[in-house]
Structure 1
Amino acid sequence: MLKTLGKIGLLVPALAVGAVWLVVLRLENVPVPLLAAYGLLSAGAMAGLLWPGALGPPSTRRRVLTFLGVPAVLGTLGLYLAVVYHVTDLPVLLALAAAGCLTWAAASLLRGRRPAGGRGARQSRRAFLAAGAGLALGVLSGLSAGQVERRRREALARAERERQAAVRAPGARRRIIDGAVRVFPIHTGDTVVTYGQFYGGLAGWEGLNGYLRTLVDKTQIVVPVYAYLIDHPRHGLLLVDAGVSWEQAHDHDAYYDMTPRLLTERDEYRMTLGQDLRVSLARLGYDAGEITTVFLTHVHEDHAGGLRHLPRATVVLDRRDWEHGVLYPYSFAPVEDDLSFPAFDSGAFGAFPASQDHFGDGSVILLPTPGHSPGHMCVLLRLESGSVLFMGDTLYTLPHLAVDQVRQMTVGGADTVRQIEAARRIQHLLASEPGTVPLFAHDNTRYQSDLVASVFARGAPGEAGLRELRGHMETVLTPGWRLRPGHTPHFVAPSSGTGPGKVDFR
């Protein structure tokens, strides 16, 4: 009985590790039928090694290893090399192989002391060969680590030369200094997401179930990632979110260590050279080193990646997000000693029970909108002609304001309730302030690509520009926050049959 319980105790964690590995492979887009066959083979090998008799009277562990174990190991190695391996893994793999050889050598030496005669000599020779192989692999691990790092530095240096050339290229703007508050949308690249993650919140994409569906359903779309530069005559250069960095898009596997790399898709971010935050700022006549304040709506990587390029910035974010929402700390390393946490003690603001008047003059109001992350917040900026509300990820697009018809994937439970409450408060704010327009971080509709880009092309939209944006809102949404005909999102599969699709509104 105890022996059986012990075997079960070994099998359960082995199956759990195997399940995690299958999840990783699915994240890397390995087809489900292949994963199913590989998973059954691996589970059979594990069970067969513990209960070889279950496969038939003549079965032995040696036969299980031959017919199930060896194919499972080769399958693991093949899948890893095909979809997960990156050159930065080479020193680690060589070090593990060296450790394995040295362990084998030590075990052979211990066994070689017991038997007499030729068997002991054979064990000693095996130990000697294994130890030699271990030492050689250890040396190769050290040498390869230096080579890998040198190649990465060369690639980064090459990218830096290309970036400098893009900054100096003809056609850059001159900064306009006339005392007006200016806002510039900055397209910092794109991210590949599952369609249901973006638009399926009312179709079962919620909480753990929604996350699991992202692993299986690879119906994907590409959506933009926006940050917003604010040139304020009294408060200097401000930024709402920092977008994606070049390293995340082009040096992804070296930028992240093994664990987050395994749990994300290698091509989750896309960025052209011109979308690099530093290049975008320079082409507008600004320098990243001049940014003094970043209002971070939340700490997710597609909003925080550019922080590493803002050496003088104080990052303003909700303490709850910093303490409970950071999944990967890499982007925060350069700024973690210069963080500012609002107290939200400026009283109620419209439908919001708490707010923070950041500068004390009513120019920038921070509004807590938790749900998408523990301490998500929106940012309201006052202009002479009206106001703009930076939404972060509380709502992804203009159609998402119809929260009872279009909803992104939510965390689930109380967090979903909080996010919907925040959306209702935003609806109330926009309805009560007709001079306020929303600006989104991931809007993939013509509201962002055509109208916002046009109205904010020179930074100062004026009353006419804000009216144009509000007018478009009224063509998309009714006063009761319902979608008008022609604005409901639908997935359009790629014509090639592979790769991300598109979103059609009809």
Structure 2
Amino acid sequence: MTDTNSHSPAPTGQPGQPIASVRVLNGGHGEQHKEHRFGSRMPRLWWVFFSNEWVPLPLYFFLIKHRQGLILFDTGIDPAILSDKSYIKQAVGRFLLPWIFRLNISEDDRVDHVLKRAGVDAGDIRLAIISHLHFDHVGGIAQIPQADLMVNEREWAILSEPHPEREWILREHIEIPSAKWRQIAFKPADDPLLGDFDGAHDVFGDGSMVLLPTPGHTPGSMSLLIRQAGWDPILMVGDLTYETRLLEQDVVPGTGDKETLLASFAKVRRLKEKLPGLAVVASHDSNAEAAVAKATGLKN
């Protein structure tokens, strides 16, 4: 089981390069149903209530030290979801949570505490890129009120739809007074390597961090492509898949839109063909730390 107090060392970039380091931060761990992770022909409610097979669920997020400042890719989970009975407003959500996830998290797993153990003050975070709006990816935004929060405009539109909480998008913990949300719209990519995707967004205009739409887990899910000389490229995919090997094998999880997931899987695989050595890194994959270390040349 994952040590909730650990985090990976910082793979360092070459002098003069835009990115100095990438770190995989550990925000706790839990368990999910086997069917949730690997998919199932059974209806979702069947495996939620009747499956007794549970598998480990690491809860990672990522810290990137760019010359423009410190960047988070997602912000982890808020431990208050277990300690505060009113955290989930809807009674059905409070009822379902322990049937869907077995969470092993504490106050030590809140984003500011995880960052402190990594030697970083939460107040120094400039930007948080949010892969999608599920509660275990936006749970730390209240702890970084100074940071801009970047989200796909398609994902943001879910908040205007009826009952986003039914998809575990908790409006009351997203639309908070301190949050500085920035919606982005994807535009046609200038780089032919990215032509398979429905647009791209260059975060700082230097090509080192490019956002790509990878819907399926949610309609507005997006991934982050990191490219830097001397490293293998890295694609952080959030929850597009729970394990890189599953994406490579076209194994879709038990949630999300199957056809859209498969289409995004295919785009990522084509990108990997064009970018040899591409490390596909998923937020709940126990191999995330090793994949980032290998891509950046970190010696264990």
- Normalising by structure 2, what TM-score? 0.81
- Would you tell me which structure has more strand in proportion to its own residues? 2
- Output the aligned Cα RMSD: 2.8
Is the 1:242–1:307 Cα contact (8 Å) retained in structure 2? Answer: yes
Tell me the secondary structure at the aligned position of residue 140 of structure 2: helix
Conserved? CA contact 1:308–1:333, under 8 Å: no
**Cα 1:335–1:229 shift into 2, 3 Å:** farther
Percent identity at matched positions?
25
Runs of 4 or more above 6 Å deviation? none
Unaligned runs of 5+ in 2: none
1:395 aligns with 2:234: no
- Rg larger in 1 or in 2? 1
Letter in 2 for 1:448: A
CA contact (8 A) 1:248 1:269 kept: no
Partner in structure 1 of residue 63 of structure 2: 229
The alignment status of 1:217 with 2:51, answered yes or no, reads: yes
Equivalence for 1:190:
29
> Quick one: structure 1 residues 335 and 388, their matched pair in 2 at CA, closer, same or farther if it must change by over 3 Å?
farther
Give matches, 1:194-209, under 5 Å: 194-200=33-39, 203-205=40-42, 209=43
1:403/1:423 contact within 8 Å kept: no
How do 1:19-418 residues align onto structure 2 when only pairs under 5 Å count? 180-200=19-39, 203-205=40-42, 209-233=43-67, 235-249=68-82, 251-259=83-91, 260-265=93-98, 268-272=102-106, 274-324=108-158, 326-327=164-165, 328-334=170-176, 337-347=179-189, 349-386=194-231, 387-404=233-250, 406-411=251-256, 415-418=257-260
The question of whether the paired residues in 2 share the 8 Å contact of 1:186 and 1:277 is answered with: no
Structure 1 residue 254: Cα displacement: 3.5
- Once residues 154 and 125 of structure 2 are traced to their aligned partners in structure 1, the CA distance between those partners, rounded to angstroms, is 24
User: Following TM superposition, by how much is the alpha carbon of 1:274 offset from its aligned partner in structure 2, in angstroms?
Assistant: 4.4
Q: For residues 378-407 of structure 1, what are the alpha-carbon distances to aligned partners after superposition, in whole Å with 9 as ceiling and x for unaligned?
A: 111222323211010111112212333x33
Q: How big is the shift at 1:213?
A: 2.7
User: Per-residue deviation at 1:269?
Assistant: 2.3
Residue 391 of structure 1 aligns to a residue in which SS? strand
Deviations 1:346-380 (A, max 9, x none): 42614213111222221211111111101111111
Q: One-letter code of the match for 1:236?
A: G
- The whole-number CA distance in structure 2 between the counterparts of 1:335 and 1:424 is 39
CA contact (8 A) 2:189 2:200 kept: yes
Q: Partners of 2:211 and 2:283 in 1: how far apart?
A: 16
> Take 2:202 and 2:22, find their aligned partners in 1: how far apart are those partners?
19
Check whether the contact 1:313–1:338 (CA below 8 A) recurs between aligned residues: yes
Q: Aligned letter for 2:201?
A: Q
Alignment correspondent of 1:430: 272
Deviation at 1:211, TM superposition (A): 3.8
Measured at CA, do residues 283 and 337 of structure 1 come closer, stay the same or move farther in structure 2, by a change above 3 Å?
Answer: closer
| SS class of match (1:438) | strand
The count of aligned residue pairs is 275
Shift of 1:258: 4.5
**Contact 1:315 / 1:335 at 8 angstroms: preserved in 2?**
no
Does the 8 A contact of 2:72 with 2:128 survive in 1?
A: yes
Stretches of structure 1 that go unaligned for 5 or more consecutive residues are: 1-165, 167-172, 469-506
What amino acid is the match of 2:207? G
Cα distance in structure 2, aligned partners of 1:331 and 1:191 = 21
Which is helix-richer, 1 or 2? 1
Structure with more relative contact order (C-alpha pairs < 8 Å, separation 6 or more): 2
Which residue number corresponds to residue 284 of structure 2? 442
SS at match of 1:321: helix
Q: Secondary structure at the match of 1:254?
A: coil
The answer as to whether partners of 2:189 and 2:195 remain within 8 angstroms in 1 is: no
CA distance in structure 1 between the partners assigned to 2:179 and 2:139 by the alignment: 16
Whichever residue aligns with residue 262 of structure 1, its letter is F
- Once the two structures are superposed, what CA deviation does each residue of 1:261-302 show, in whole Å capped at 9, x if it has no partner? 123228742225543322221122211111111111101111
- 3-state DSSP of counterpart to 1:281: helix
Cα deviation, residue 425, structure 1: 0.5
- Find the residue that maps to 1:442 and give its secondary structure: coil
1:26-47 deviation per Cα after TM superposition (whole angstroms, max 9, x unaligned)? xxxxxxxxxxxxxxxxxxxxxx
SS in 1 for 2:260: helix
- Which secondary structure does the structure 1 equivalent of 2:259 belong to? helix
1:135 aligns with none
Partner Cα distance (1:258, 1:354) in 2: 36
State the one-letter code of the partner of 1:232: H
How far apart are the structure 2 equivalents of 1:289 and 1:193?
32
Structure 2 residue matching 1:184: 3-state secondary structure: strand
> Does the CA contact (< 8 Å) of 1:314 and 1:335 recur in 2?
no
1:51-74 alpha-carbon deviations (Å, 9 max, x no partner): xxxxxxxxxxxxxxxxxxxxxxxx
